[in-house]
Amino acid sequence: MSAVGDDRLPVRVTVNGRAYERTVEPRRTLADLLREDLDLTGTHLACEHGFCGNCNVLLDGRTIRSCLLLAVQADGREVTTVEGLAAPDGTLGTLQQAFHDHHGLQCGFCTPAMLLTALELLREQGDEELTDDAIREAISGVTCRCTGYQQIVDAIRAAAAAGAGKEARA
Amino acid sequence: MKAPRFAYHAPATLEEALEVLAAEDGARPLAGGQSLVPLLKLRLTRPAALVDLNGVRGLDGIDRDGGDVRVGALVRQQTLLEDDELARSHGLVREAVRYVGYRATRHRGTIGGSLAYAAPWAELPAVSVALDATIEVRSARGERTVRAREFFHDAYTTALAPDELITAVRFGAQPARTGAGFHEVSARFRDYAQAGAAALVTLDDDGRCRDAELVLVRMAGAPHRVEIGDVVRGSRLDDATLDRVVDALGPLDPPDDVQVSGAYRRRVAPVLARRALASAFARAGQGKAA
C-alpha cells in the first residue's frame, strides 16, 4: 500500500462494534478520523503529541495514544472509544457510575481517557489485588488539567470493589 | 498541530521496505511512532516519505538459542516488559523498561525504534550497552552487525546510515549468578529520565563480585559506560568499594536543560550508580538471572 502527493488511502475500521469505511490522507491520525470523519468527539485532543494521554483509546483492546497512530494504521483493527462504554440505552457501566458517584470528573476533559485507561487496568488485574499504587501508576500517563486525581483513584478503587474488573473481562 | 504531508508506504516485506528506503531521498522508517509522530506534528522533521514497518513480516519475534536471545526490532516495549522468560534470562530489560513511557505508549513503542532514535534520556540504549548487545542492521546493500557499544555516537546519532534498518537485537547468554539493577530520577512518575544508572553484577562461588557493568543515562549524549570490573572484583560491594566506584566515574560533564542542571546530574549520578549496583548485587545473591 502506497500513497504519494495528495493521495488518500482507504481505511476500514470497526469502532465500538460498528464498521466504518473512509478514505484519508496518510498524515491524518486515528484521533482526527474519529473526531472529524466519524463524529465521535468523545475522544479528546489536547497536546496532540503524545504527552498528555487525553486521546487514549483501545486498539484491539489495548490502550494507545490515538494522536500518535496514523488513521491508515488502524485499517482492519477494532477501536473502542468512550462512546462504546455505556449500554445502548445510555445506562452507565459500573466504572462510569463509580466516576459519577465519587466525583471522578470535574471539567470532564480527561474522563474518556481515564475511563479507557482504568478499564484496561481493571481487565488486566484482579479486583482484589488492585492497590492504590497500581491505580496511580496506570493513570500516570493521563494528565488531568483539574488535578482531580484523588477522586479518580477513589472511583477506580470503588469500581473494582463493585466488580467492574469481572465485567471488563466478560 | 497536524503533521505536514508525506508520501506513505506500507510494505509487507523487509526487502520492499529496504528498496523504498534506498530509492527515495528523504524517506524515513516509521516503527512505533511514539517519537517520530510527535516530531512530525511539531514539524521538527519533514520527511518526504514514511516507510511504515508495522506490516513488515518477521520483525516482531523473540527467538532463543541456548541462553542467547534475539529480539526482533518491532517487538513492542510492553512485550519486553511482560515476557517472563526474558525477565529470567536478561532481567535488566524488565528492570529498565518499567521506566519507559507509559503503558499506552509501550503498546506501540518498539525496541528497534528506541535504539535507532537514541534519545539521550532513553533506557533501552543503556540496557543494550550494559548487556553488550549486538545490533543486526540491514539495507538494500547488505547486512552487518554492530556492537551496541559502538552504535551510539551522541544524542540522536548512531552508526545507522539513512538507508539502513535495525532488524534485531541480540543479547548473549548471561553468566550464572548475575543480577541486574536500574534506577532513575524524573520530575514526574515515568517522565523522561533526568539521570539514570543500569548495573549488572556477577558473583563467584563465594558470593564475591566476579564482574560488573555500569552504564549511566543522561550524563552525555550517548549511554556512558564506566569500567568498574577491576574496582569491584573480589569484593562484596561494601561501602568502601562503592566509594571507589564513585571515584571511577571520573569527571562527568552532563548537560543543563530546562528541567535540571548539569550540576544536579553530577550530584545524583553517584547515588543512582550505588543504588543500581546494590540492587544488582542483591539480585545476583538471590540467584536471579540478569
Q: What CATH number should be reported for the domain holding residue B86?
A: 3.30.465.10
Q: What CATH number should be reported for the domain holding residue B230?
A: 3.30.390.50
β-bridge pairing B49-52 and B7-9: parallel
The domain total for chain A is: 2
Contact A63 B9 (CB under 8 A): no
B50 interaction partners in chain A (CB closer than 8 Å): 26
Is B124 a member of any domain? Answer: yes
Host H or E run for residue A99: helix A94-101
Q: pLDDT per residue over B232-275, tens digit each?
A: 999 999 999 999 999 999 999 999 999 999 999 999 999 999 99
| A105 to chain B, closest Cα gap in Å | 21
Contact of B56 with chain A, judged by CB distance below 8 Å, is answered with no
| A127 to chain B, closest Cα gap in Å | 19
Q: What size, in residues, is chain A?
A: 170
pTM (predicted TM-score): 0.96
| Predicted-complex ipTM score | 0.96
B168, B227, B38, B149: which is closest to A65 by C-alpha? B38
Of the candidates A59, A69, A136, which has its C-beta nearest B33's C-beta? A69
The domain total for chain B is: 3
Residue of B nearest to A116 (CA): B104
Cα B148 to chain centroid, rounded? 9
- Concatenating the DSSP letter of every residue in B267-283 gives HHHHHHHHHHHHHHHHH
Sign of CA dihedral B207, B209, B212, B217: positive
Contact B104 A2 (CB under 8 A): no
Of the candidates B8, B34, B103, which has its C-beta nearest A2's C-beta? B8
The segments of chain A whose pLDDT lies below 50 read none
Phi, psi at residue B50, to the nearest 5°? -110, 135
Residues A73 and A109 in one domain: no
Q: What pLDDT score was predicted for residue B286?
A: 87
Percent of chain A with pLDDT over 90: 87
Contact A59 B107 (CB under 8 A): yes
Is B2 a member of any domain? Answer: no
Domain of B44, in residue numbers:
7-52
Residue B289 pLDDT greater than 60, yes or no: no
The amino acid sitting at B228 is I
Q: pLDDT per residue over A72-109, tens digit each?
A: 999 999 999 999 999 999 999 999 999 999 999 999 99
- Looking at A84, A114, A144, the residue that finishes a domain is A84
Residue of A nearest to B33 (CA): A68
Those residues whose C-beta lies under 8 Å from the C-beta of residue B230, and which sit 6 or more positions away, are none
Q: What CATH number should be reported for the domain holding residue B23?
A: 3.30.43.10
Of the candidates B5, B10, B104, which has its C-beta nearest A56's C-beta? B104
Alpha carbons within 13 angstroms on the beta-carbon side of residue A15 total: 26
